[in-house]
A and B are shown apart, each in its own frame.
Chain A
């Protein structure tokens, strides 16, 4: 019964989305104010209906209702409750339902928070969001119904893929989707602006908080996924340039560019057409990511089903939304006159450089991700593009981006002088150069990590120098505190986010110096690695809620003093008849000690031990970046979204 109610709610949401698309657009075209006003309540209605459907799915998983196919295929009564619920979105149908739920949430948020928006713009934004929801609700209802029944009911479910039974992965999809789908809002703003044929400073001011929020969630989602891969897959790496990872990096790159170009639109009314294009691109990449992951063209943990019908449907949606919006862009963009003059060397110029480099990086990642697919289709060539390609192609683009990143925020608008900025940065440059030299001297000829440490110090120091300058810490120390409090949160946010990237790069550079050692040892024997003694004490059987395991106890000693005890496991899940490797990690400020248990033979166990310097800072840095974004979001000027008086006069409907 609950499943049928869920299915019914989903159909209701589809009908409401249809109304949400058609009525406001019709009203906007004909000037019917009541139809325009219907947009917001319809969006809220669609949100309620979708939420009811999602709640029904959660309920079916919570009570392990084995007459629902989706539950039978992806759940099991012996699973802990968290993974029963997480299992609801740990499969194709459920994750698509989560996708439309988050899209409906975005619509509800625009309806709720967007009261200051001009009525016509809000109606059009909501209509575009309704149109996106329409396509994906149709996809769920037609090809991926999560509420299908099976008769007779199965005795019990078949279990969830054991690698997915993990708290990190329970929250990874919702965060990632909040990011992906958040760009639907900026997309809707861009399409609405194209429909109106007008982009101005106020538009930039409304778009920026949405771009920021989506970017924060996407940053957290990507970081959580990377962290999960690091501790769960047990390979010791944190980024594999897997197509699925790339699919989430693409909207992040385009979204980061949008975030920065929207500032120029807001402050200087320049780069308007370009920002609209970026908003279309960011959501296009989100859809591409959804297509790559959900269509089954990729084989990975993420490809739940290999159903060509679904792939074709999503491909069609992708072509419709991306093609349609680009067509509209081609029609309308030429009529938007560029305004706002600036010299090449200025804050605007710096942001243009940022955009250019981020887009070039996105282009490289896109090519590397899609080329194997095309080569297979066109030339029947089986090739793969691995980390060496991405590293060597992206480094020359990332280096100037990072070099400019510390100086950019110090440049003046319109026209800037480089010399005063360099004067403020000379000690940062000195620190970065020493880091480079020290790494080379200490770790040997390792250009990558040395550049990484230099970049990290350059970014963190640059952010500090920016704040020091803005609050005049050294010039007028007495007034610094009050100036710091008066400094807009957006400025703090930018500095924190830039420093956060520096912290992430610090971790990456540290991981560049990571070492590992593999050995077969009998209990009582030790491995010497990275200045530690890793002693295998014993290997024993343990029993968990829905698995059994072999667990090794490894004592790590330094100078005969115990540092930590690690217990890596090899788990066996009888329900799915699968083995997983559970790495044991001891995290500290200086880095991770990481141990993996391999096969056992003749009383010997294979151990792989890693020393990963500074590893945790990769993900902490991402959290700091998201914090910077949140700080910027909390800026009163952004939160209120009040148009500047001059701009307001121009956009009143």
Chain B
């Protein structure tokens, strides 16, 4: 059968609508399950997504917190703490730490928070040069009161970890 012009146009509109509708439906369903939220350590208390949902945890690698050990099956495991000042989260990661991973610097990790409060990272991202601060981490530090943007530019990344909340420039170490 050959279709008339009107019918054909109708077909095309229906098909295009169908395609668009399918794409939208697929996008929304996939969004529901796969959006990955970014949380700073302070956010976890209020927005704990539960042990089954992966999220990105970002902050500073607490100075002096990095330990290495081996898992029972001989794989190297890195243990460190990620902090945004008020709250600190212990993180474990089995794998090769990226070239630019440093204590006292910004880091973003992807993983799940166990019921024991230990964050098990499946990915550690520290992909930039040593003065770089991931924007999410900078934002989290701003929110936790470590950095007041009205008082000028952010202090150098390496000094973040020595700040205490409420006392923006104190040289004292806050520890954990």
Place the interface of chain A in its size category: 35 or more
- In angstroms, Cα B12 to Cα A168, docked, is 43
Residues of chain B with a CB closer than 8 A to A299's CB = 128, 134-135
- In angstroms, Cα B123 to Cα A220, docked, is 29
When the two chains form their complex, are residues B22 and A352 in contact, meaning their CB atoms are under 8 A apart?
no
- In angstroms, Cα B26 to Cα A277, docked, is 24
Cβ of A341 within 8 Å of any chain B Cβ, yes or no, is: yes
Residues of chain A with a CB closer than 8 A to B97's CB = 598-599
When the two chains form their complex, are residues A385 and B2 in contact, meaning their CB atoms are under 8 A apart?
no
- CB within 8 Å for A383 and B36 given contacts A518-B76, A519-B75, A580-B99: yes
When the two chains form their complex, are residues B96 and A360 in contact, meaning their CB atoms are under 8 A apart?
no
- The 0/1 profile, CB within 8 Å of B marked 1, for residues 373-394 of chain A is 0000000011111101110110
Cβ of B79 within 8 Å of any chain A Cβ, yes or no, is: no
- CB within 8 Å for A578 and B96 given contacts A383-B38, A606-B76: no
- The 0/1 profile, CB within 8 Å of B marked 1, for residues 561-594 of chain A is 0000000001000001111110000000000000
When the two chains form their complex, are residues A388 and B34 in contact, meaning their CB atoms are under 8 A apart?
yes
Cβ of A82 within 8 Å of any chain B Cβ, yes or no, is: no
Residues of chain B with a CB closer than 8 A to A577's CB = 130
Min CB gap B163→A, angstroms:
21
**CB < 8 Å neighbour of A382 from B20, B37, B128:** B37
- CB within 8 Å for A518 and B75 given contacts A392-B33, A397-B23, A599-B97: yes
When the two chains form their complex, are residues A606 and B96 in contact, meaning their CB atoms are under 8 A apart?
yes
Min CB gap A401→B, angstroms:
11
Residues of chain A with a CB closer than 8 A to B20's CB = 360, 363
**CB < 8 Å neighbour of A360 from B1, B19, B38, B110:** B19
When the two chains form their complex, are residues B26 and A385 in contact, meaning their CB atoms are under 8 A apart?
no
Cβ of B27 within 8 Å of any chain A Cβ, yes or no, is: yes
Residues of chain A with a CB closer than 8 A to B75's CB = 518-520
Cβ of A56 within 8 Å of any chain B Cβ, yes or no, is: no
In the complex, number of A-B residue pairs with CB atoms less than 8 Å apart: 121
- Closest-by-CB residue of A relative to B58 is A382
- In angstroms, Cα B134 to Cα A382, docked, is 12
Cβ of A328 within 8 Å of any chain B Cβ, yes or no, is: no
Residues of chain A with a CB closer than 8 A to B134's CB = 299
Residues of chain A with a CB closer than 8 A to B3's CB = 341, 343-344
When the two chains form their complex, are residues B27 and A356 in contact, meaning their CB atoms are under 8 A apart?
no
- In angstroms, Cα B16 to Cα A359, docked, is 10
Q: List 21 A-B contacts (CB under 8 A).
A: A299-B135, A300-B127, A301-B127, A341-B2, A342-B2, A352-B12, A356-B18, A356-B19, A363-B20, A364-B26, A368-B27, A383-B35, A384-B35, A384-B36, A385-B34, A393-B30, A396-B22, A518-B95, A519-B74, A520-B74, A599-B97
